[in-house]
Amino acid sequence: MTRVGLVMARSAQVIGEEPFYHEFIEGLERVLTPAGVSLLVRMVGDRAAEADVYESWSARQQVRGVILVDLVPDDDRVALVRRLGLPAVVLGDPSTADGLPTVWTDDAGFAREAVGFLAGRGHTVLGHVSGPLGFAHTQLRRGGVEAEVTDRELTLLTAEGDYSLESGRAATALLLDTRPERPTAIVFDNDVMALGGLETIRAYGLRVPEDLSVVAWDDSAQCQLAVPALSAMSHDVARIGELTAGAVLDTFLDASARTVYEAPKAHIVERDSTR
């Protein structure tokens, strides 16, 4: 059977906590399986180990193509898969892909929308808990947040997490300890960190949304089941997986294609955490 490879250089704990990749893989398999293509998933500790996997897959001809995720600016994996002759699809901004087929979401634009949503509800001091700042998509989101805050003459406080529950707790504590102003609303770069943030907010004796509004990135069942239910920048993650799988199948027909596949538009779903 033809195989496609997906390597994730994140801890097993983070992957286990985060619904995004479960939904993404479900979308991939929904398209790949009927086409007679299986998905080979590996989790590794760092980028060097990820590169070793690609080298091994290529030498043993274990996969026909790969999906690249969590790219950084000038990512050397793009040159590596080209050297190895592995057809590849990038999940990320076209600026990171150096001409490889790309499934793109407008991280900067959606981040601006999240800020505008909160500004429209009267918030003037905002917090942003980002994912790892080395990732290109994180930089784009942070840039979008900063641009919208600047345009609206708001105040921004920032902290960095790693998408885990614990990092959400710690980053929120950092923002709430800020003086002289603490935020009245926080945008988190994923749902899991937002759940950790809720725990910290309660520990500080604050109420959501009366004292602090919360918006999560990547809507999920966890956002809906949280107390209070979390407002979120909602993406159709399974559909993004389907588009990525379709892009991979397209590379089998034309490995030289440079197509950019635009993911469905994200949108704010308002729930109790911002009302």
The per-residue pLDDT for 255 is 79
**In whole numbers, what is the pLDDT of the chain averaged over residues?**
95
CATH of domain 107-234: 3.40.50.2300
Cα 93–97–98 angle (5° rounding)? 130
Query: Could you give the C-alpha distances from 80 to 58, 85, 142, in angstroms and in order?
Result: 11, 9, 28
The per-residue pLDDT for 218 is 86
- Give the mean model confidence (pLDDT) for residues 194-206: 98
Domain 2-105+236-265 -> CATH class: alpha beta
pLDDT at 77 over 80: yes
Domain spans in the chain, listed from the N-terminal domain onward: 2-105+236-265, 107-234
Name the pTM for this structure.
0.93
The per-residue pLDDT for 19 is 86
Domains 2-105+236-265 and 107-234 share a fold: yes
pLDDT tens, residue by residue, 152-189:
999 999 999 999 999 999 999 999 998 888 999 999 99
pLDDT tens, residue by residue, 204-230:
999 999 999 999 998 999 999 999 999
